[in-house]
């Protein structure tokens, strides 16, 4: 595994080897036709109806296989949530799922209000960061078919030791699959398939597309073969369900996401360096009570963050001067923090930020800030939000703007303008 997958033109363009019709072009065309001419009845040249397959979606999927280390198959969906729904449906009725407790609000809503009511799928939410091995093994039932991990979690950025959970899953009699939602770190900072995960999912809406102009998702499965894991069969099932549901991304969105993916490595380096600078700035600010960024050396799980880095991220770190990473390492673009005064202070601060836009979502080149309890995580019941530490937490998606840019206010300028009341 080398970082060359981030620069190889075949992967970046998504061309299939030997695709003569495409080879003269550097950039692939967007092919929007919904249907394809057949020369004889039932005889087509690979595509018949774009719902079932189209060149741009295929090309994007090949690019995703190139990006996610250890991947053999990628299946693109109309959104991250459509990916979640399809993976859960592939488990069949009356399955049990063990999920990290601090899971994305939409996934929590789907598990508790849709999968449970329509398919009888039960979910147990466990603090996979702090629970002992025996407690996790006890929570795995005979019908537990899937363990759902996000790491870092959204928005409290808890870290899960993926190889540890994979090891426990392999010991459990029901041999549950391990799924990692790798949206937050992207294929650049984390390679869960190399750590033994069976399925990686992404909301491509976020870092992979990276420009806040596409909603899309993907499931990515390993290339490796294991006797008790039928990845080929699962891929066929997911493709069948995608087609049956019609949870398909459009050719143009596929084209945009593939174009965005070409710059993933460059963007992720900038997101990580900016996030580290901003987390360090916040740590020493008197108005701030608490900063969460697993890349900070002062965080208790920093060693786990370092150990979990993908080969590409490790290579990136080796190019940085030691002095620049003495107090922490770039570890994705997400930073969470709590102000003295909690939610009330955050509600005053957020509309005043000048470089950060007050908006939901994450992973785009522009910096965004939000209050998860009132925005992205409003669907989680208040008591659970309180228990998880979401109440009053501010979540930043650090973009790739020049971090020294204070001419237009910048993050520091916007924040410092509020110190009068916040302190």
Ligand X SMILES: Cc1ncc(COP(=O)(O)O)c(C=O)c1O
Binding footprint of ligand X on the chain (CB under 6 A): 79-81, 104, 106, 150, 154, 181, 183-184, 203, 205, 215, 217
Beta carbon nearer to ligand X, 219 or 418: 219
Tokens 């945009």 sit on residue: 256
Q: How far is the CB of 177 from ligand X (least distance, A)?
A: 17
Q: Among 179, 184, 136, which Cα is nearest to 159's?
A: 184
Q: How far is the CB of 137 from ligand X (least distance, A)?
A: 26
Q: How far is the CB of 180 from ligand X (least distance, A)?
A: 10
Beta carbon nearer to ligand X, 58 or 181: 181
Beta carbon nearer to ligand X, 247 or 301: 247
Q: Residue 73 burial by CB count (10 A; 0-12/13-18/19+): exposed, middle or buried?
A: buried
Q: For residues 410 and 413, give the distance between their C-alpha atoms in angstroms, rounded to a whole number.
A: 5
Beta carbon nearer to ligand X, 215 or 264: 215
Beta carbon nearer to ligand X, 89 or 203: 203
Beta carbon nearer to ligand X, 23 or 379: 379
DSSP state, residue 175: -
Q: For residues 284 and 395, give the distance between their C-alpha atoms in angstroms, rounded to a whole number.
A: 18
Apex 77 CA angle, 385 and 381, nearest 5: 15
Please report how the helices 231-245 and 80-90 are oriented relative to each other, as an axis angle in degrees rounded to 10: 120
| CB distance 380 to 355 below 8 Å | no
Q: Among 158, 238, 262, 254, which Cα is nearest to 205's?
A: 254
Q: How far is the CB of 136 from ligand X (least distance, A)?
A: 21
Q: How far is the CB of 64 from ligand X (least distance, A)?
A: 14
What residues contact 349, with CB distance under 8 A and at least 6 apart? Answer: 339, 394, 415, 418, 422
Neighbours of 51 (CB within 10 A): 12
Beta carbon nearer to ligand X, 101 or 154: 154
Beta carbon nearer to ligand X, 169 or 218: 218
Beta carbon nearer to ligand X, 369 or 422: 369
Q: How far is the CB of 2 from ligand X (least distance, A)?
A: 27
Q: For residues 146 and 73, give the distance between their C-alpha atoms in angstroms, rounded to a whole number.
A: 19
Residues in the chain: 423
DSSP 151-171: SS-TTT-----HHHHHHHHHH
Q: How far is the CB of 79 from ligand X (least distance, A)?
A: 3
Q: How far is the CB of 7 from ligand X (least distance, A)?
A: 27
Beta carbon nearer to ligand X, 55 or 332: 332
What residues contact 364, with CB distance under 8 A and at least 6 apart? Answer: 206, 210, 211, 212, 397, 399
Q: How far is the CB of 236 from ligand X (least distance, A)?
A: 23
Q: How far is the CB of 100 from ligand X (least distance, A)?
A: 11
Classify 293 in phi/psi space as left (phi over 0), alpha (psi -120 to 50) or beta: beta
Reported as half-sphere exposure (CB side, CA atoms, 13 A), residue 357 has a value of 12
Task: For residue 233, give the H/E element and its range.
Answer: helix 231-245
Beta carbon nearer to ligand X, 166 or 219: 219
Q: How far is the CB of 63 from ligand X (least distance, A)?
A: 17
| CB distance 172 to 136 below 8 Å | no
Q: For residues 269 and 312, give the distance between their C-alpha atoms in angstroms, rounded to a whole number.
A: 10
Q: For residues 206 and 213, give the distance between their C-alpha atoms in angstroms, rounded to a whole number.
A: 9
């Amino acid at each position: 595994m080398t970082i060359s997958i981030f620069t190889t033109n075949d992967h970046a363009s998504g061309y299939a080897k030997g695709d003569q019709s495409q080879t003269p072009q550097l950039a692939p065309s967007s092919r929007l036709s919904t249907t394809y001419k057949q020369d004889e009845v039932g005889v087509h040249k690979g595509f018949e109806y774009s719902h079932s397959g189209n060149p741009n979606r295929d090309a994007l999927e090949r690019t995703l296989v190139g990006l996610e280390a250890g991947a053999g198959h990628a299946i693109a969906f109309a959104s991250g949530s459509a990916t979640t729904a399809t993976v859960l449906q592939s488990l069949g009725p009356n399955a049990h799922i063990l999920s990290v407790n601090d899971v994305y609000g939409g996934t929590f809503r789907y598990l508790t209000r849709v999968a449970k009511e329509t398919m009888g799928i039960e979910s147990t939410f466990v603090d996979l960061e702090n629970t002992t091995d025996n407690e996790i093994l006890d929570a795995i039932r005979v019908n537990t078919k899937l363990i759902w991990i996000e790491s870092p979690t959204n928005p409290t950025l808890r870290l899960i030791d993926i190889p540890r959970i994979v090891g426990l899953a392999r010991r459990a009699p029901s041999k549950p699959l391990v799924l990692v939602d790798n949206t937050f770190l992207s294929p650049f900072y984390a390679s869960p398939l190399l750590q033994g995960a069976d399925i990686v999912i992404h909301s491509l809406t976020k870092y992979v597309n990276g420009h806040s102009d596409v909603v899309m998702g993907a499931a990515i499965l390993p290339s490796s073969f294991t006797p008790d894991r039928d990845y080929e069969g699962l891929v066929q099932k997911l493709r069948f369900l995608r087609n049956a549901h019609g949870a398909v991304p459009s050719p143009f969105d596929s084209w945009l996401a593939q174009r965005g993916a070409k710059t993933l490595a460059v963007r992720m380096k900038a997101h990580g360096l900016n996030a580290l600078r901003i987390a360090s700035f916040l740590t020493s600010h008197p108005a701030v009570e608490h900063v969460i960024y697993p890349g900070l050396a002062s965080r208790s799980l920093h060693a786990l963050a370092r150990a979990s880095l993908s080969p590409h991220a490790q290579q990136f770190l080796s190019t940085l001067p030691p002095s620049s990473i003495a107090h922490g390492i770039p570890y994705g673009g997400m930073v969470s923090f709590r102000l003295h005064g909690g939610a009330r202070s955050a509600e005053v601060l957020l509309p005043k930020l000048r470089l950060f836009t007050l908006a939901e979502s994450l992973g785009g080149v522009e910096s965004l800030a939000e209050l998860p309890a009132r925005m992205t995580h409003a669907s989680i019941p208040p008591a659970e939000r309180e228990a998880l530490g979401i109440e009053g937490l501010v979540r930043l998606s650090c973009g790739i703007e020049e971090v020294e840019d204070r001419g237009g206010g910048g993050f520091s300028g916007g924040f410092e303008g509020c110190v009068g009341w916040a302190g």
